Structure 1
């Protein structure tokens, strides 16, 4: 009693409509999941390599020169937008990109094929 396995040529002759889910349709979901996971890890871990030094290293006392006072005010204003940890910003960007990709792919699947 021998078991006959299908040959390689007979596997390639299966019509494409009968094959299981196409991998190309699932790859964006896997990619979005990877983006979400890496972003979450970066937000939770907060590695020291991403720490940014404070911009006010020259002190916060008022300056004598008008130009230097203006530069100090500008530095203090811009400091509010500077990240404390760069990896936090990268993590948030990865999470937003992953969520957008996931939502776009799911909505594409729900919308269906052309003409249907």
Structure 2
């Protein structure tokens, strides 16, 4: 018999979408943790990634503490998490690969728009 958070014939850890005794309950209490966390296999509560908080991980804490996965870097579309740091594609920058401001462009938003005066 497996303890809460484990299931299957070998008592493997529950998948990210299941929790509880024999992994019998879906993690729908807090949705998908807003894409900024994962479901706790024992309690079903969200375990938020660095920089996120709240019951469903929807609140940005404003803390720049590095990334845990590509989801912290624009979901992988705007950048990738490499050794705890977001590496952003051109047109995005900052700790979470946010879009460049209107006056900046390029890799890590490092170039100013001074060629045309704007």
- Judging by fraction of residues, say which structure has more strand: 2
TM class by smaller structure: under 0.3
- Judging by fraction of residues, say which structure has more helix: 1
Normalising by the residue count of structure 1, what TM-score does the alignment of the two structures yield?
0.23
Normalising by the residue count of structure 2, what TM-score does the alignment of the two structures yield?
0.22
Larger radius of gyration: 1
